[in-house]
Amino acid sequence: MSRDALLVLSDGAAFEGEAVGHVPESGAATGEVVFNTALSGYQEILTDPSYAGQMITFTYPHIGNYGVNPDDLESRRPFCAGVLVRDLARRPSNWRATESLDEFLRRHRVPGIAGIDTRRLTRHLRQAGALPGAFGTDESVVRAAASAAATTDGRDLVAGVTTEQPYTAGDPDAMFHVVAYDFGIKATILRHLAGVGCFVEVVPASTPAADVLARGPDGVFLSNGPGDPAAVAGAADTVAGLLGEVPVFGICLGHQILGLALGAQTFKLRFGHHGANHPVRHESTGRVEITSQNHNYAVDLDTLRGAAVTHVNLNDGVVEGFRVLDAPAFGVQYHPEAGPGPHDASYLFDSFTNLMAGAAMTEAG
Protein backbone atom coordinates (compact mmCIF):
# COMPACT_ATOMS: atom_id res chain seq x y z
CA MET A 1 0.00 0.00 0.00
CA SER A 2 1.41 3.39 -0.99
CA ARG A 3 2.15 6.01 1.66
CA ASP A 4 1.85 9.72 0.92
CA ALA A 5 5.16 11.52 1.28
CA LEU A 6 6.41 15.09 1.02
CA LEU A 7 9.71 16.55 -0.19
CA VAL A 8 10.63 19.97 1.23
CA LEU A 9 13.70 21.97 0.22
CA SER A 10 15.51 24.33 2.57
CA ASP A 11 13.96 27.33 0.82
CA GLY A 12 10.46 26.01 1.58
CA ALA A 13 9.58 24.61 -1.85
CA ALA A 14 7.43 21.47 -1.44
CA PHE A 15 6.67 18.51 -3.70
CA GLU A 16 4.11 15.78 -3.05
CA GLY A 17 4.70 12.09 -3.80
CA GLU A 18 4.68 8.65 -2.25
CA ALA A 19 7.28 6.86 -0.16
CA VAL A 20 9.31 4.06 -1.76
CA GLY A 21 12.39 2.16 -0.69
CA HIS A 22 13.52 2.26 2.94
CA VAL A 23 11.62 4.20 5.61
CA PRO A 24 14.19 6.10 7.73
CA GLU A 25 13.93 5.63 11.48
CA SER A 26 14.18 9.39 12.02
CA GLY A 27 11.04 9.91 9.94
CA ALA A 28 12.83 11.95 7.28
CA ALA A 29 15.66 11.46 4.79
CA THR A 30 17.95 14.47 4.45
CA GLY A 31 20.67 15.51 2.03
CA GLU A 32 21.67 17.92 -0.69
CA VAL A 33 19.26 17.61 -3.64
CA VAL A 34 20.82 17.41 -7.11
CA PHE A 35 19.55 16.23 -10.48
CA ASN A 36 21.00 13.79 -13.02
CA THR A 37 19.99 14.00 -16.69
CA ALA A 38 21.15 10.54 -17.84
CA LEU A 39 18.53 8.48 -19.67
CA SER A 40 19.87 5.13 -18.45
CA GLY A 41 22.40 3.72 -16.02
CA TYR A 42 20.42 4.42 -12.85
CA GLN A 43 22.06 1.49 -11.04
CA GLU A 44 25.55 2.74 -11.80
CA ILE A 45 24.51 6.24 -10.71
CA LEU A 46 23.00 5.03 -7.44
CA THR A 47 26.09 3.00 -6.55
CA ASP A 48 28.60 5.76 -7.41
CA PRO A 49 30.08 6.75 -4.01
CA SER A 50 30.43 10.31 -5.31
CA TYR A 51 26.76 10.84 -4.35
CA ALA A 52 27.39 10.45 -0.60
CA GLY A 53 25.50 13.18 1.24
CA GLN A 54 23.24 13.86 -1.74
CA MET A 55 19.72 12.93 -2.83
CA ILE A 56 19.49 12.14 -6.53
CA THR A 57 16.69 13.49 -8.70
CA PHE A 58 16.37 11.56 -11.96
CA THR A 59 15.11 13.83 -14.72
CA TYR A 60 14.22 10.86 -16.93
CA PRO A 61 10.63 10.00 -15.90
CA HIS A 62 10.71 6.18 -15.88
CA ILE A 63 13.27 4.67 -13.52
CA GLY A 64 13.69 1.01 -12.59
CA ASN A 65 12.21 -0.48 -15.77
CA TYR A 66 15.11 -2.90 -16.33
CA GLY A 67 15.65 -3.76 -12.68
CA VAL A 68 18.94 -4.27 -10.86
CA ASN A 69 21.66 -6.90 -11.12
CA PRO A 70 24.93 -7.53 -9.24
CA ASP A 71 27.15 -7.16 -12.31
CA ASP A 72 26.39 -3.43 -12.73
CA LEU A 73 27.30 -2.31 -9.21
CA GLU A 74 29.96 0.41 -9.05
CA SER A 75 30.65 -0.06 -5.32
CA ARG A 76 29.75 -2.33 -2.42
CA ARG A 77 26.51 -0.44 -1.77
CA PRO A 78 24.72 2.85 -2.56
CA PHE A 79 26.03 5.77 -0.53
CA CYS A 80 23.47 8.36 -1.67
CA ALA A 81 21.12 9.86 0.94
CA GLY A 82 17.94 9.33 -1.09
CA VAL A 83 16.33 8.84 -4.50
CA LEU A 84 13.69 11.07 -6.14
CA VAL A 85 11.82 9.85 -9.23
CA ARG A 86 8.69 10.59 -11.26
CA ASP A 87 7.64 7.01 -12.00
CA LEU A 88 9.22 3.99 -10.30
CA ALA A 89 8.68 0.80 -12.31
CA ARG A 90 7.01 -1.86 -10.19
CA ARG A 91 7.74 -4.79 -12.51
CA PRO A 92 11.19 -4.73 -14.13
CA SER A 93 11.60 -6.42 -17.50
CA ASN A 94 15.11 -7.59 -18.35
CA TRP A 95 16.72 -11.02 -18.45
CA ARG A 96 19.67 -9.76 -16.38
CA ALA A 97 17.53 -8.38 -13.55
CA THR A 98 17.73 -10.16 -10.19
CA GLU A 99 15.48 -7.77 -8.25
CA SER A 100 13.42 -4.62 -8.66
CA LEU A 101 14.84 -1.20 -7.89
CA ASP A 102 12.43 -0.82 -4.98
CA GLU A 103 13.65 -4.12 -3.49
CA PHE A 104 17.25 -2.98 -3.99
CA LEU A 105 16.57 0.31 -2.18
CA ARG A 106 14.88 -1.48 0.69
CA ARG A 107 17.69 -4.02 1.03
CA HIS A 108 20.32 -1.28 1.17
CA ARG A 109 18.20 0.99 3.39
CA VAL A 110 18.04 3.84 0.87
CA PRO A 111 14.93 6.07 1.20
CA GLY A 112 13.04 7.12 -1.89
CA ILE A 113 10.10 9.23 -3.01
CA ALA A 114 8.21 8.63 -6.27
CA GLY A 115 5.42 10.41 -8.09
CA ILE A 116 6.86 13.90 -7.65
CA ASP A 117 7.03 16.47 -10.43
CA THR A 118 10.72 16.03 -11.24
CA ARG A 119 10.46 18.52 -14.10
CA ARG A 120 9.33 21.29 -11.74
CA LEU A 121 11.94 20.23 -9.17
CA THR A 122 14.75 20.30 -11.74
CA ARG A 123 13.73 23.75 -13.01
CA HIS A 124 13.69 24.96 -9.41
CA LEU A 125 17.19 23.59 -8.73
CA ARG A 126 18.51 25.16 -11.93
CA GLN A 127 17.29 28.55 -10.69
CA ALA A 128 18.13 28.23 -7.00
CA GLY A 129 21.12 25.87 -7.23
CA ALA A 130 21.60 22.59 -5.39
CA LEU A 131 19.71 22.81 -2.08
CA PRO A 132 19.56 20.68 1.05
CA GLY A 133 16.17 19.15 1.72
CA ALA A 134 14.23 16.35 3.36
CA PHE A 135 11.40 13.97 2.56
CA GLY A 136 9.20 11.58 4.50
CA THR A 137 5.62 10.80 5.46
CA ASP A 138 5.22 13.16 8.44
CA GLU A 139 5.00 16.76 7.22
CA SER A 140 6.02 18.39 10.51
CA VAL A 141 9.06 16.14 10.84
CA VAL A 142 10.01 16.73 7.20
CA ARG A 143 9.78 20.51 7.41
CA ALA A 144 11.87 20.59 10.57
CA ALA A 145 14.47 18.29 8.98
CA ALA A 146 14.58 20.39 5.78
CA SER A 147 15.36 23.56 7.70
CA ALA A 148 18.27 21.79 9.43
CA ALA A 149 19.58 19.77 6.46
CA ALA A 150 23.24 20.27 5.56
CA THR A 151 24.94 20.85 2.22
CA THR A 152 28.15 19.08 1.22
CA ASP A 153 30.23 22.21 1.81
CA GLY A 154 33.15 21.78 4.20
CA ARG A 155 32.39 18.12 4.94
CA ASP A 156 34.91 15.31 4.48
CA LEU A 157 32.54 12.79 2.90
CA VAL A 158 35.43 10.69 1.57
CA ALA A 159 36.09 9.30 5.05
CA GLY A 160 32.71 7.55 4.93
CA VAL A 161 33.15 5.83 1.56
CA THR A 162 36.84 4.91 1.29
CA THR A 163 37.99 1.32 1.79
CA GLU A 164 39.16 0.38 5.28
CA GLN A 165 41.79 -2.07 4.03
CA PRO A 166 43.89 -2.20 0.85
CA TYR A 167 42.83 -4.63 -1.89
CA THR A 168 43.94 -5.46 -5.40
CA ALA A 169 42.44 -5.69 -8.89
CA GLY A 170 43.81 -7.05 -12.16
CA ASP A 171 46.63 -9.43 -13.05
CA PRO A 172 49.63 -9.35 -10.66
CA ASP A 173 51.85 -10.02 -13.69
CA ALA A 174 50.51 -7.03 -15.63
CA MET A 175 52.95 -4.61 -17.24
CA PHE A 176 52.22 -1.71 -14.88
CA HIS A 177 51.85 -1.58 -11.10
CA VAL A 178 49.47 1.21 -10.03
CA VAL A 179 48.46 2.35 -6.56
CA ALA A 180 44.97 3.86 -6.57
CA TYR A 181 43.73 6.17 -3.85
CA ASP A 182 40.16 5.26 -3.01
CA PHE A 183 38.32 8.53 -2.52
CA GLY A 184 35.17 6.71 -3.70
CA ILE A 185 36.47 4.62 -6.59
CA LYS A 186 34.15 2.97 -9.12
CA ALA A 187 34.44 -0.67 -10.20
CA THR A 188 34.42 0.30 -13.88
CA ILE A 189 37.54 2.42 -13.39
CA LEU A 190 39.37 -0.59 -12.00
CA ARG A 191 38.24 -2.68 -14.97
CA HIS A 192 39.56 -0.05 -17.39
CA LEU A 193 42.90 0.18 -15.62
CA ALA A 194 43.21 -3.60 -15.68
CA GLY A 195 42.20 -3.56 -19.34
CA VAL A 196 45.17 -1.38 -20.32
CA GLY A 197 47.67 -3.61 -18.50
CA CYS A 198 47.63 -2.38 -14.90
CA PHE A 199 47.75 -4.35 -11.68
CA VAL A 200 46.06 -2.04 -9.17
CA GLU A 201 46.55 -1.81 -5.43
CA VAL A 202 43.66 0.19 -3.96
CA VAL A 203 44.51 1.98 -0.72
CA PRO A 204 42.50 4.05 1.80
CA ALA A 205 42.27 7.79 1.20
CA SER A 206 44.38 8.53 4.31
CA THR A 207 47.42 6.53 3.15
CA PRO A 208 50.59 8.69 3.42
CA ALA A 209 52.58 9.42 0.28
CA ALA A 210 55.65 7.69 1.74
CA ASP A 211 53.69 4.46 2.19
CA VAL A 212 52.53 4.59 -1.43
CA LEU A 213 56.03 5.27 -2.77
CA ALA A 214 57.37 2.41 -0.64
CA ARG A 215 55.18 0.05 -2.68
CA GLY A 216 57.25 0.94 -5.75
CA PRO A 217 54.39 1.77 -8.14
CA ASP A 218 54.83 2.73 -11.78
CA GLY A 219 52.02 5.24 -11.29
CA VAL A 220 49.44 6.57 -8.85
CA PHE A 221 45.75 6.99 -9.64
CA LEU A 222 43.53 9.49 -7.79
CA SER A 223 39.91 8.35 -7.90
CA ASN A 224 36.56 10.05 -8.02
CA GLY A 225 34.70 10.66 -4.77
CA PRO A 226 32.08 12.75 -2.99
CA GLY A 227 31.80 16.26 -1.71
CA ASP A 228 34.05 19.23 -1.17
CA PRO A 229 37.65 18.52 -2.31
CA ALA A 230 39.07 21.16 0.03
CA ALA A 231 37.57 19.29 2.99
CA VAL A 232 39.28 15.94 2.32
CA ALA A 233 41.73 15.74 5.21
CA GLY A 234 45.38 15.79 4.12
CA ALA A 235 44.69 14.78 0.52
CA ALA A 236 46.21 17.80 -1.23
CA ASP A 237 49.42 17.63 0.84
CA THR A 238 49.68 13.89 0.16
CA VAL A 239 49.38 14.37 -3.60
CA ALA A 240 51.89 17.23 -3.49
CA GLY A 241 54.34 14.74 -1.99
CA LEU A 242 53.81 12.39 -4.95
CA LEU A 243 54.26 14.93 -7.75
CA GLY A 244 57.58 14.50 -9.49
CA GLU A 245 58.15 11.16 -7.81
CA VAL A 246 55.79 9.04 -9.87
CA PRO A 247 53.29 9.56 -12.74
CA VAL A 248 49.85 10.63 -11.47
CA PHE A 249 46.39 10.46 -13.08
CA GLY A 250 43.30 11.92 -11.40
CA ILE A 251 39.61 11.63 -12.28
CA CYS A 252 36.83 13.87 -10.91
CA LEU A 253 37.57 14.46 -7.20
CA GLY A 254 41.09 13.19 -7.89
CA HIS A 255 41.43 15.89 -10.57
CA GLN A 256 40.27 18.54 -8.10
CA ILE A 257 42.67 17.33 -5.39
CA LEU A 258 45.51 17.39 -7.94
CA GLY A 259 44.61 21.03 -8.59
CA LEU A 260 44.68 21.78 -4.86
CA ALA A 261 48.11 20.11 -4.64
CA LEU A 262 49.35 22.66 -7.20
CA GLY A 263 48.04 25.51 -5.03
CA ALA A 264 44.85 26.15 -6.99
CA GLN A 265 41.48 26.75 -5.36
CA THR A 266 38.19 24.95 -5.98
CA PHE A 267 34.68 26.37 -6.02
CA LYS A 268 31.14 25.03 -5.95
CA LEU A 269 29.09 25.02 -9.14
CA ARG A 270 25.53 26.30 -8.96
CA PHE A 271 23.88 22.93 -9.54
CA GLY A 272 26.83 20.78 -10.59
CA HIS A 273 27.42 18.56 -13.60
CA HIS A 274 25.43 15.33 -13.31
CA GLY A 275 24.62 13.51 -16.52
CA ALA A 276 25.86 11.59 -19.54
CA ASN A 277 25.77 14.19 -22.31
CA HIS A 278 28.24 16.92 -21.37
CA PRO A 279 30.29 18.20 -24.34
CA VAL A 280 34.00 18.69 -23.59
CA ARG A 281 36.54 20.12 -26.03
CA HIS A 282 40.03 18.63 -26.17
CA GLU A 283 42.07 21.81 -26.56
CA SER A 284 45.01 20.37 -28.53
CA THR A 285 42.85 18.72 -31.20
CA GLY A 286 39.59 20.67 -31.10
CA ARG A 287 37.79 17.34 -30.87
CA VAL A 288 34.57 17.31 -28.83
CA GLU A 289 33.95 14.42 -26.46
CA ILE A 290 30.51 13.49 -25.12
CA THR A 291 31.17 12.75 -21.47
CA SER A 292 29.63 11.41 -18.29
CA GLN A 293 29.99 13.71 -15.30
CA ASN A 294 29.13 13.79 -11.62
CA HIS A 295 30.57 16.62 -9.55
CA ASN A 296 29.47 19.76 -7.71
CA TYR A 297 32.90 21.39 -7.45
CA ALA A 298 35.50 22.51 -9.99
CA VAL A 299 39.04 23.87 -10.19
CA ASP A 300 39.26 27.66 -10.39
CA LEU A 301 41.12 28.48 -13.62
CA ASP A 302 42.31 31.86 -12.34
CA THR A 303 44.21 30.20 -9.48
CA LEU A 304 45.68 27.27 -11.44
CA ARG A 305 49.45 27.64 -11.79
CA GLY A 306 52.09 25.30 -13.17
CA ALA A 307 49.60 23.50 -15.40
CA ALA A 308 48.17 23.71 -18.91
CA VAL A 309 44.43 23.33 -19.47
CA THR A 310 43.74 20.37 -21.76
CA HIS A 311 39.93 20.11 -21.71
CA VAL A 312 37.10 22.65 -21.37
CA ASN A 313 33.36 22.18 -20.79
CA LEU A 314 31.46 23.69 -23.72
CA ASN A 315 28.33 24.34 -21.65
CA ASP A 316 29.86 26.67 -19.09
CA GLY A 317 33.61 26.94 -19.77
CA VAL A 318 34.65 25.06 -16.63
CA VAL A 319 38.10 23.43 -16.60
CA GLU A 320 37.62 19.75 -17.44
CA GLY A 321 41.25 18.69 -17.62
CA PHE A 322 44.84 19.87 -17.19
CA ARG A 323 48.38 18.54 -17.24
CA VAL A 324 51.15 19.52 -14.85
CA LEU A 325 54.02 21.29 -16.59
CA ASP A 326 56.97 20.17 -14.47
CA ALA A 327 55.86 16.66 -13.46
CA PRO A 328 54.29 13.63 -15.21
CA ALA A 329 50.75 14.21 -13.98
CA PHE A 330 47.34 15.05 -15.41
CA GLY A 331 43.68 14.94 -14.47
CA VAL A 332 40.21 15.18 -15.98
CA GLN A 333 37.00 16.29 -14.33
CA TYR A 334 34.73 13.88 -16.21
CA HIS A 335 34.43 10.07 -16.22
CA PRO A 336 36.20 8.49 -19.21
CA GLU A 337 35.32 5.01 -17.96
CA ALA A 338 31.56 5.64 -18.18
CA GLY A 339 31.76 6.13 -21.95
CA PRO A 340 28.43 7.62 -23.09
CA GLY A 341 30.29 8.56 -26.31
CA PRO A 342 30.78 5.52 -25.93
CA HIS A 343 34.57 5.52 -26.47
CA ASP A 344 35.26 9.24 -26.86
CA ALA A 345 37.48 9.51 -23.77
CA SER A 346 38.84 5.97 -23.30
CA TYR A 347 42.20 7.13 -24.71
CA LEU A 348 42.95 8.74 -21.34
CA PHE A 349 43.74 5.38 -19.78
CA ASP A 350 46.25 4.79 -22.58
CA SER A 351 47.65 8.25 -21.90
CA PHE A 352 48.30 7.13 -18.32
CA THR A 353 50.12 3.95 -19.39
CA ASN A 354 52.13 5.94 -21.94
CA LEU A 355 53.11 8.35 -19.17
CA MET A 356 54.24 5.43 -16.99
CA ALA A 357 56.13 3.84 -19.87
CA GLY A 358 57.88 7.12 -20.59
CA ALA A 359 58.90 7.50 -16.96
CA ALA A 360 60.27 3.96 -16.95
CA MET A 361 62.33 4.66 -20.08
CA THR A 362 63.70 7.84 -18.50
CA GLU A 363 64.78 5.92 -15.41
CA ALA A 364 66.34 3.18 -17.52
CA GLY A 365 68.24 5.74 -19.59
> Which amino acid belongs to residue 118?
T
Cis ω before 342 (30° cut-off from 0) = yes
Options 32, 74, 192, 252, the catalytic residue: 252
Catalytic annotation present for 25: no
List own/partner pairs for 11-19 with CB under 8 A and 24 or more apart: 11/128, 11/131, 13/124, 13/128, 15/116, 15/117, 15/120, 15/121, 16/115, 16/116, 17/84, 17/113, 17/114, 17/115, 17/116, 17/135, 18/113, 18/114, 18/115, 19/111, 19/112, 19/113, 19/136, 19/137
Catalytic annotation present for 18: no
Cα–Cα distance for residue pair 312/318, rounded to 1 Å: 6
Catalytic annotation present for 252: yes
80: number of Cβ within 10 Å: 26
Cα–Cα distance for residue pair 72/78, rounded to 1 Å: 12
Residues with a known catalytic role? 252, 335, 337
